[in-house]
Structure 1
Amino acid sequence: MAENIVKTEYSELMQKSYIDYSMSVITARALPDVRDGLKPVQRRVLYAMDQLGLNYDKPHRKSARIVGDAMGKYHPHGDSSIYETLVVMSQDFKKGMALVDGHGNFGSIEGDGAAAMRYTEAKLKKFTQDVYLADLDKDVVDFIPNFDETEKEPAVLPVRVPNLLVNGADGIAVGMTTNIPTHNLGEVIDAVCAYMDNVNITTQELMQYCPGPDFPTGGLVVNKSELPAIYETGTGKIKLRGKVVFEPAQKRGEKDKLVITEIPYTMIGANIGKFISDVVELIESKKATDIVDISNESSKEGIRIVLELKKNADVENLKNLLYKKTKLEDTFGVNMLAIVDGRPETLGIKKIIEHHINFQYEIATRKYTTLLNKELANKEIKEGLIRACDIIDLIIEILRGSTNLKMAKECLMTGNAEGIKFKSEASKKQASQLDFTERQASAILEMRLYKLIGLEILALQKEYDEACKKIARYEKILGSRKEMAKVIKEDLMKIKKEYSVGRRTVIEDGKEAVFIEKKIPEQEVMFIMDRFGYAKTIDMAAYERNKEAVHNEYKYIFSCMNTDKICIFTDNGMLHQIKVKDIPFSTKFRDKGTPIDNLGNYDSSGERIIYLCASERIRQKRLLFVTKLGMMKLVDTSEFDVMKKTVASTKLTDGDELIGIYETDARTEVLSKFNYDGTVGEEEVVSSDQNIILQTANGVFLKFPLTDVPQKKKNAVGVRGIKLGSDDYIEDVYILTNGDELSMDYKGKMLDFGKMKMAHRDTKGTKVRR
């Protein structure tokens, strides 16, 4: 067979493949269908449970069995994603209405994971059976082949309430996400009925019935005025707050308490622990000085996070602090994206309800058409049986005279009496006039003799009358949209009566949380840090009393104001800033400090401190940066006046590192200069009375004026200070002010830096030999 090579542009192939993949993820994985509000995996898990017969009144079944059936028959993907879906549908703190009745450890609101699926059990909730899976046997939805065409699965479940609103949805597709909040079942049903009464109803009018989201965790929505725009467009941000209750002390020895009884929906999971750690951080940083202790007393009964307060604490200010600095106030990003007719579409609340109602009319039409056809067939059979009872003697004569079932059935349907033995010609003549339908003939032949009892005949007549009534009712419903709407609303009201619960989330226009931070009295303190990285600040009196011990035991010692910041420059070119007020303060010299790693982003395991100072001390100064490979520059300290805790203090080339940062007397002076056109202009130059001496590892020294080093920005590499040998690097740097006398013993030879020959930057220097 000859090869057939098809040449394709690679970019076109990739584009087509990626688009196909994207659409598969969007339509068949990540986004819910607007009709039943379910993603494919949720729909398949519920259908698999229904097929397993896991009804609410039956025993629980192992979750592993449910996951296995769903994966093997309908959802050929990872078992972990299927089990996670099952778990979430059972968690009443995530769903407005839980759909699965879980038995065992199905996780907690604080983020604890569910037990493995081999340990847990599950079955359907009664609500799920009545509202999500009812009428599947009445041909109300289309069934499609599964992935290997060995089974059939519903394309959509006949959900009778707008599940997209009731249980919300979240999912990440390719290039798009959906995030729909949960709503109150009763309110949503009221909104659906209002729309059915008036299709021209506005979003604002719909919100009189469904005023906003209703989260299972309760809490408060505090931007009520913004909700109409969010529900009109389907996008926006809902501002959430937890519910905080003040509990005054009841008896002596007790403390006043602030108790968080409801949390924002966005806080569920690990964010509860994050909230507690954030409060602890506020206490340690002395921003929440009114809080004495915090404890989590949450249980199955609900959330209860207790903050014990100092006497006469400013409760309102403390609430505002929690709203401002923690996740107790958060935003829920709304994006009501769902699959509509096979395509993703962002929908407002009115559109969601409109699509749901259209789906309900479709379901109702198919349901009552199926029921009508069933009752018409039932009526036909009952008519035949009643008529047969009137001529039962003739039918018995036909049966006794026939040689087989086919002959008897043909006689009942067409009156063909050939081959049948009758007692008289009159009977044969009467038999020739029979014209039962095939369905009626089959029912007659299958009828048992006890049906000939008088009471049974009366019951047969009664069943016939009931079938006629049902047919009339079904025809009336199918013949009038108004009647069908009435039936749909009646069903919705029954669901509301049986399953609706009260609203949990309060909706209001809350005041902006304004926290007034208490100003700490400004004072001078002494920053001290030992060689192990333990830092603290002490008051000046304690320093003066223990001056000798401080200088013997600590590596970094300098004074600063408690409103200042500590600057930590490290060998990898980073600058870390820590507020002095965040460093533990003590009036006792012997109190242990705190590792400086714990106070900021500095990591002692991966960085080495090159220079440490108070930001106020170096204000309006120039710092000299010197790297191991000889790069140098002067940087104005205003470059480091930034809000971020960590920034790059300089740019380093590969394999280079900072070896020193030095304060200098360098200053910028403006000098007059003559331009080429003869005019007089101005020029900025660096002025200094200092000289630099660079020492390399191989004993090369180079002395040159500081003015040779240009001033650069912090993100610049700098200029070369010395031409290094192939295996050489800068080992030390000395700064000498004119007139200073400085000498050193280098490998047994005395060097007088004052008499050392002055050279220029970026030269080779002089090697000192023994």
Structure 2
Amino acid sequence: MEHSIIRTEYSELMQKSYIDYAMSVIIARALPDVRDGLKPVQRRTLYDMYELGIRYDKPYRKSARIVGDTMGKYHPHGDSSIYDALVVMAQDFKKGLPLVDGHGNFGSIEGDGAAAMRYTEARLQKVTQEAYLADLDKNVVDFMPNFDETEKEPVVLPVKVPNLLVNGAEGIAVGMATSIPPHNFGEVIDGVIAYMKNPDITTAEMMQYIPGPDFPTGGIIANKDDLPAIYESGVGKIKIRGKIEIEKGKGGKDRMVITEIPYTMIGANIGKFLNDVYGLVESKATSDITDITNQSSKEGIRIVLELKKGADIEALENLLYKKTKLEDTFGVNMLAVADGRPETMGVVPIIRHHVKFQYEIATRKYQTLLAKEQDKKEIQEGLIRACNVIDLIIEILRGSRSIKDAKACLTDGNTDHITFKNLSSKIMAQQLNFTDRQAQAILEMRLYKLIGLEIEALMKEHDETLENIAKYEDILEHRSSMAKVIIKELTAFKKAYGKERKTVIDNLKEAVVAAKKIEEQDVVFLMDRFGYAKIVDTSVYERNKEAANAEYRHIFTCKNTDKICIFTDKGQMHLLKVLDLPYGKFRDKGTPIDNLCNYDSKEENVVYLAGLEHVSSHRMLFGTKYAMIKVVDGMEFVVAKKTTAATKLGEEDEVLTVCPLEENDTLVMATKKDMFLRIDCAQIPQKKKGAVGVRGMKLAAGDELKSIHVLHEGEEKEVEVKGKPVALHRLHVGNRDTKGVKK
């Protein structure tokens, strides 16, 4: 067997393969079709339920049966995607018009998931059957083979309402995503009717009928003036707020009740909102809230915030809108598949595509109905003629040897093989010219049809058929007649399934939270050897000074508005706001500083701690174990970053000392091999924080600094070496970068 090797550029092959994959995801998985507003998985699930006969007036069927059948016949992409689609179509808090009637646990607005598919049951909603799946038997849409070509599935469902706007859509494809908000069913139908009466309608005129989204969760749209631009372009951001009501409580205290939430808060974000409110209370951003409870139920959302007496309600509302999900943004990107390709559209183009589709459906529907009525007319006319010459037909049937001979006589007047009682009957029979279908109907006609009342009914039915033919021909020939039929149907749907608008549309002021002015005061920072830190009032420290000095490793006074600088042996400086530290009693445990900043106690050791105000007002000395020293201006550490490099270190080097320098200070370096060198700090050059520094002392092989001591002018200090005291202040002041003296 010959092999043919095709040589091609690898990049071209990858590009083509990726584009094919991307288009497959876009068209066949993630984006809805503008005609029926459904993704393929939704369309296939609804069609499968229709095929299984799970109608609104029939018993519920197990979701597992629906999912399995859909996966086996139409959607071989896993059961979870099918069940997820089924669940969402049944959730009235996500869909403006639920398409599936779910029985069992189909999840909750608070983010609880649906029960497993083996427990839940479902069936079609009445509106789905009437407005989404009706007329499938009338050849109104094209069908295509399924994935293995064993079944046929509709390319698109004959949806008679603009589902893309009614239920909205969300989907992430490759390189693009769609996000369409749900709208009010009745308003959208009014918009469609308005477009059909005036195809040149503008977006502004359309917004008289469709003023904005209508979310199932209600809420308030806060940027009404931005909606025209969003509806024109199909892209933009909608600000949505929850609805707050104030109730009077006992003792003159008010109660703030959230009765409606933003659409984006559905699910886990309700829990996040509660946590955010707790956080505002804990961080003292507000002291007006005394308790919060979630009293939501099947009847609706009810989140209750108990307020203290005299609470500033307006300020608290602004704080909740600004700092929590009670005000959120819904990103609009009206992207859908139109004419086989993804397209971002405004509201009017979406309705234009929908109306065009409605005319296509109606044309095919009435063409099919007209053909059926014309067939009925042909048969009815044949039966009526047959009733007028019934005696002759009976004579033909009795004189025939076979059905074939009788049919030939009825259609062509062929009397060769038929025996007649008299010549006149034969002559009359030769004049018969029924069509094949009429002849077949006559041969299959039962004798009771010859009863007078039956003949009258046949005549009446024939008149109705003629009326239907005239009506259908008028609908097909005149677009205005077809428009009337479509509008009449839409009006009936609105009357049957329309609901009041839930979402309020308004222009609301931006929520502004005035920064709470903090009264500046001195506090004392305390941190023990385990890294637990806190701040206490200076008077508290003074009363417990002896115990504090015994229990805590780091103690200093700072301002409550200051930041704490944490210098580590790895050359890093971490900043920690004093306000983030717990302010409490002397016996309170405190909080690990690991939890409040980027400091990692497992990787780093604290070398020096001080307030940023103190650090910035001094020249800071840095010394490492390999005797690299430098002075850095403290203002270099006034930075916005939570963590910054305080100094550059050589390989395996570590910071040994960080401390502020005063005028006329001297520096004593002591090594592990008991070498000492005292130098004047004026010899140490000032460097940037990103510099390594200079060598302060020549170290012998294998030696390194054990400690660095800064002596202020006139200060006396001793250290012990091999059991003997060494007076550091009596050491000779030498030159930097020398070996020092042995002790």
Unpaired runs of 5+ in structure 2? none
Q: How does 1:278-297 map to 2 (within 5 A)?
A: 278-297=276-295
* Structure 1 position 653, deviation (Å): 8.1
How far the C-alpha of 1:566 sits from its partner, in A, is 3.0
**Contact 2:191-2:210 at 8 Å conserved across structures:** yes
Name the structure 1 match of 2:612: 615
Query: d(CA) in 1 for partners of 2:146 and 2:257?
Result: 51
Task: Give the letter for the 1:647 counterpart.
Answer: T
1:514 aligns with 2:505: no
Alignment of 1:95-106 (within 5 A): 95-106=95-106
Q: Deviations over 1:270-314 (max 9, x none)?
A: 111111111111101111111111111111111111111110111
Verify: 1:345 aligned to 2:343, yes or no.
yes
The corresponding residue for 1:481 is 479
Q: Is 1:43 paired with 2:40? A: no
What is aligned with 1:681? none
Q: Deviations over 1:704-748 (max 9, x none)?
A: 77665653356x777788899998877655445577555533566
Query: What residue identity is the alignment partner of 1:618?
Result: V
Tell me, what secondary structure is at the counterpart of 1:49?
helix
Where in structure 2 are the equivalents of 1:563-582 lying within 5 Å? 563-569=561-567, 575-582=573-580
Kept in 1, the 8 Å contact 2:380–2:458? The answer is yes
Letter in 2 for 1:514: V
Structure 1 residues 665 and 21, CA gap change in structure 2 (3 angstroms): same
Aligned to 1:671: none
In 1, Cα distance between the equivalents of 2:699 and 2:435?
110
Distance 1:689 1:727, change over 3 A: closer
Name the residue aligned to 2:372. 374
Q: Give the match for residue 439 of structure 1.
A: 437
The within-5 A match list for 1:130-279 is 130-249=130-249, 251-252=250-251, 255-279=253-277
Match of 1:745 in 2: 720
Q: How far apart are the structure 1 equivalents of 2:236 and 2:355?
A: 25
Match of residue 451 from structure 1: 449
SS in 2 for 1:491: helix
1:1-80 to 2 correspondences below 5 Å: 1-80=1-80
Question: The residue matched to 1:111 in structure 2 has which SS?
Answer: coil
- Greater shift after overlay, 629-638 or 126-135? 629-638
Alignment-mate amino acid for residue 562 of structure 1 = N
Q: What secondary structure does 1:36 align onto?
A: coil
Q: 1:448 to 1:526 in 2, by over 3 A?
A: same
- Asked if 1 retains the 8 angstrom alpha-carbon contact of 2:26 and 2:174, the reply is yes
What are structure 1's unaligned runs of at least 5 residues? Answer: 667-686
- The structural deviation recorded for 1:35 is 0.9
SS at the partner of 2:191? Answer: helix
- 1:269 and 1:553, CA in 2 relative to 1: closer, same or farther beyond 3 A? same
Letter in 1 for 2:133: L
C-alpha contact 2:397 2:406 (8 A) present in aligned 1: yes
Measured against aligned partners, the alpha-carbon deviations of 1:610-661 in whole angstroms (never above 9, x if no partner) come to 44332222223344556778877655444444445x3343587898686456
- Distance in 2, matches of 1:718 and 1:380, equals 107
- Give yes or no for the alignment of 1:711 onto 2:687: yes
Q: How far, CA to CA, are the matches of 1:125 and 1:144 in structure 2?
A: 25
State the distance in 2 between where 1:248 and 1:184 align.
33
Mapped to 2, the partners of 1:216 and 1:140 lie a distance apart of 32
Specify the alignment match of 1:395 in structure 2: 393
Comparing 528-537 with 463-472, greater Cα deviation is found at 528-537
TM-score, L = length of structure 1: 0.89
Contact 1:621 1:663 (8 Å CA) reproduced: no
- Find the aligned partners of 1:657 and 1:486 in 2 and give their Cα distance: 87
Match of 2:511, SS state, is coil
Asked whether the equivalents of residues 668 and 676 of structure 2 are also in contact (C-alpha less than 8 Å), the reply is no
Q: What per-residue deviation string (whole Å, max 9, x for no partner) do you get for residues 334-356 of structure 1?
A: 11111111111110111111111
The residue that corresponds to 1:676 in the other structure is none
Of residues 296-305 and 529-538 in structure 1, the stretch that sits farther from structure 2 once superposed is 529-538
Note the 1:355-374 alignment, pairs <5 A. Answer: 355-374=353-372
Bigger shift: residues 734-743 or 95-104: 734-743
Match for residue 665 of structure 1 among 644, 658, 661: 661
The answer to whether the 8 A contact 2:667-2:708 is kept is no
> How many Å apart are 1:580 and its aligned residue?
2.6
Distance 1:42 1:571, change over 3 A: farther
**2:186 aligned partner, one-letter code:** G
Map residues 465-544 of structure 1 onto 2, 5 A cutoff: 465-544=463-542
Q: State the match for 1:589 in structure 2.
A: 586
How far apart are 1:663 and its partner, in Å? 2.6
Shift of 1:170: 1.0
SS, match of residue 614 in structure 2: coil
Q: Tell me the secondary structure at the aligned position of residue 616 of structure 2.
A: coil
- How far off its partner does 1:434 sit? 1.7
Letter matched to residue 609 of structure 2: L
Distance, in Å, in 2 between the alignment partners of 1:381 and 1:726 is 117
CA distance in 2, matches of 1:164, 1:516: 42
* Rounded Cα–Cα distance in structure 2 between residues aligned with 1:222 and 1:169: 22
Count of residue correspondences: 741
Kindly state the Cα deviation for residue 474 of structure 1 after the two structures are TM-superposed: 0.7
Output the amino acid matched with 2:719.
M
- Mapped to 1, the partners of 2:685 and 2:72 lie a distance apart of 73
Aligned residue type for 1:257? R
How many Å apart are 1:489 and its aligned residue? Answer: 0.8
User: Which amino acid is the alignment partner of residue 37 of structure 2?
Assistant: G
The 3 A distance-change label for structure 1 pair 479 and 559 is same
Counterpart of 2:546 in structure 1 is 548
SS state at 1:616 partner: helix
- CA distance in structure 1 between the aligned counterparts of 2:397 and 2:427, rounded to whole angstroms: 16
- For 1:11, give the aligned amino acid: S
Q: Which letter maps to 1:127?
A: V
The yes-or-no answer on 1:301 pairing with 2:299 is yes
Q: CA deviation at 1:569?
A: 4.6
What are the Cα deviations for residues 351-396 of structure 1, in whole angstroms up to 9, with x where unaligned?
Answer: 1111111111111111111111111111111111111122222222
> What CA distance in whole angstroms lies between the structure 2 residues aligned with 1:40 and 1:287?
48
Deviation of 1:144 (Å):
0.8
Q: 1:299 to 1:559 in 2, by over 3 A?
A: same
Partners of 2:426 and 2:174 in 1: CA distance? 77
Letter in 2 for 1:482: S
- CA displacement at 1:693 relative to structure 2: 3.1
Contact 2:664 2:713 in 1 (8 A): no
Q: 1:453 to 1:713 in 2, by over 3 A?
A: farther
Counterpart CA distance in 2 for 1:420 and 1:31 is 68
- Distance between the aligned counterparts of 1:447 and 1:259, measured in 2? 74
Report the equivalent of 1:669: none
Aligned partners of 1:689, 1:297: CA distance in 2, in Å? 67
Q: Give 3-state SS (helix, strand or coil) of 1:295's partner.
A: strand
Deviates more, 1:412-421 or 1:110-119: 412-421
Superposed CA offset, 1:447-473 (max 9, x none): 222211111111111111111111111
Label 1:584 to 1:757 Cα distance change in 2 as closer, same or farther (>3 A).
closer
Match of 2:461 among 439, 447, 463: 463
Whether the 8 Å CA contact 1:569–1:649 is kept in 2: the answer is: no
